[in-house]
Amino acid sequence: MSLTLWHHCTLATLQADAGQTDVAQPYGLVPDGALVVQGATLKWVGPLAELPEALRAQCSTQHDAGGALITPGLVDCHTHLVYGGDRAAEFEQRLQGVGYEEIARQGGGIASTVRATRAASAPELQASAARRLRHLLAEGVTTLEIKSGYGLALEHERKCLQVARALGAEHAVAVRTTFLGAHALPPEFAGQSDAYMDAVLRMLPVLHAEGLVDAVDAFCERIAFSPAQTARLFEAARALGLPVKLHAEQLSDSGGAQLAASFGALSCDHLEWLSEEGAAAMAQAGSVAVLLPGAFYFLRETKLPPMDMLRRHGVPMAVSTDCNPGTSPCTSLLLMLNMACTLFRLTPEEALAGVTRHAAQALGLKDRGVLAPGMRADFVLWDVSHPAQLAYALGANPLIQTVFEGQVR
Ligand code: DI6
Ligand code: FE
């Protein structure tokens, strides 16, 4: 198979042990670097001066990157991209002082998006989600997770997951689907959350058998599902061999992180109210902390996730858009890089690892998120001279080109 060389670039490999010396370079920076691509895979990564002559001779195509910075393709590991309608009216209400939980209790919030999602056809849902997806792609996203959770009945959860799969088939992006049937209580089950969990447990194997589920998630919160109910769902996921993740400790500490960790969760997400025990359990289980500064900002929260505690326990941190109509109507992962730094005090290096290496880990994907031989050839050329500039600028999009599975997108 023919090889392609990319040269005249600085690499941010995001590998902790990259560089020419034994000393780890920040961002895994490789000045004057080169990439050799074979098909959809990276074959060689390093300083151009160290590229073996024999390998270079096999490169039938060469791309001069014009001095660009090259990072791994970005991974958005937590989105609710597929939904009907919007919640701008609720935004106005909240600006007048009505709380998010109060709106949810009044039948607005997630429930209003459920009504709009059920009313929408699959092509309508796909068209609206594709508009959002195009924004993410324009900023270099090459893998994203899409959750269901606004259908809350078998046919509608299926419709949303099928739309998610179709988005992946029709765009040059890898889509991982997550079944979030336990997102909220649908109106027909009002006051019967255990009975609704029974229904969720009936949906899961059906959707899984249809090849629509890569992972299972729940919203463990006082306005959603209890730890005991969440545990029933996780048992069912485990029986099917499906990995789990959890919306945990977003609005209160319900011990969701410990529960998720006890099931070996890929990630626990939000975590503003995470306890020390929760952080320790996550570290033990190898669960990633997915931080969602868009939701924190949009709800004007004041309780920060405990970044220092996460660092102390060695919990890897990812950063994601949480793209959803209610708490983070955000389609810019670059803006999340900035907010992760300004609001959550991540370093730009932590933030960039959060949308590459650690985001891939949060999806259980070992073949992406860093530039290294054997990894997928998903990478982005940026018109910046240093990776910190990706987190620094607000509203800029310095993307030059995205390469997905070895092909310019
Ligand atoms: N937490 C969130 O922030 C979103 N879902 C969740 O479990 C909000 C979803 C919405 O308000 O529509
Ligand atoms: Fe979410």
Q: Is 219 in the pocket of ligand 1 (CB under 6 A)?
A: yes
Helix, strand, or coil (residue 332): coil
DSSP for residue 108: -
- pTM (2 decimals)? 0.96
Question: If you measure from the C-alpha of residue 1 to the centroid of ligand 1, how many angstroms do you get, rounded to a whole number?
Answer: 46
Q: In this structure, which ligand is nearest to the CA of 272?
A: 1
**Which pLDDT does position 20 carry in this prediction?**
47
Q: Is 162 in the pocket of ligand 1 (CB under 6 A)?
A: no
Q: In this structure, which ligand is nearest to the CA of 220?
A: 1
Distance CA 176, CA 320 (A): 14
Question: If you measure from the C-alpha of residue 109 to the centroid of ligand 2, how many angstroms do you get, rounded to a whole number?
Answer: 13
Q: Which atom of ligand 1 is nearest to the CA of 326?
A: 11
Distance CA 299, CA 256 (A): 21
Q: Which strand ranges, in their side-by-side order, compose the sheet holding 399-404?
A: 41-47, 29-38, 3-12, 59-72, 379-382, 399-404, 407-408
Best residue among 324, 328, 330, 336 to mutate for probing ligand 1, ranked by most atoms within 8 Å of CB: 324
**Closest residue CA from atom 4 of ligand 1:** 327
Question: If you measure from the C-alpha of residue 181 to the centroid of ligand 1, how many angstroms do you get, rounded to a whole number?
Answer: 13
Closest by alpha carbon to 270, among 302, 293, 299? 293
Q: Is 295 in the pocket of ligand 1 (CB under 6 A)?
A: yes
Best residue among 110, 230, 321 to mutate for probing ligand 1, ranked by most atoms within 8 Å of CB: 110
Q: Is 327 in the pocket of ligand 1 (CB under 6 A)?
A: yes
How do beta strands 399-404 and 407-408 pair? antiparallel
Q: Is 233 in the pocket of ligand 1 (CB under 6 A)?
A: no
**Which pLDDT does position 105 carry in this prediction?**
81
**Closest residue CA from atom 2 of ligand 1:** 327
Helix, strand, or coil (residue 97): coil
**Which pLDDT does position 100 carry in this prediction?**
83
Helix, strand, or coil (residue 262): helix
Q: In this structure, which ligand is nearest to the CA of 322?
A: 2
At 280, which helix (H) or strand (E)? Answer: helix 276-285
Q: Is 84 in the pocket of ligand 1 (CB under 6 A)?
A: no
Q: Which atom of ligand 1 is nearest to the CA of 100?
A: 11
DSSP secondary structure string for all residues of 185-241: --GGGTT-HHHHHHHHHHHHHHHHHTT--SEEEEEESTTSB-HHHHHHHHHHHHHTT
Taking the CA atoms of residue 277, residue 283, residue 285 and residue 289 in that order, the dihedral angle to the nearest 10 degrees is 90
Q: Which atom of ligand 1 is nearest to the CA of 325?
A: 12
**Which pLDDT does position 23 carry in this prediction?**
55
Contact (CB, 8 A) for 62 and 34: no
Question: If you measure from the C-alpha of residue 184 to the centroid of ligand 1, how many angstroms do you get, rounded to a whole number?
Answer: 9
**Closest residue CA from atom 3 of ligand 1:** 327
Question: If you measure from the C-alpha of residue 292 to the centroid of ligand 2, how many angstroms do you get, rounded to a whole number?
Answer: 8
**Closest residue CA from atom 11 of ligand 1:** 326
Q: pLDDT truncated to tens, each residue of the chain (409 aa)?
A: 789 999 999 999 999 754 444 556 899 999 999 999 999 999 999 999 999 999 999 999 999 999 999 999 999 999 999 999 999 999 999 999 998 888 988 888 999 999 999 999 999 999 999 999 999 999 999 999 999 999 999 999 999 999 999 999 999 999 999 999 999 999 999 999 999 999 999 999 999 999 999 999 999 998 899 999 999 999 999 999 999 999 999 989 999 999 999 999 999 999 999 999 999 999 999 999 999 999 999 999 999 999 999 999 999 999 999 999 999 999 999 999 999 999 999 999 999 999 999 999 999 999 999 999 999 999 999 999 999 999 999 999 999 999 999 999 9
Q: In this structure, which ligand is nearest to the CA of 152?
A: 1
Distance CA 308, CA 33 (A): 33
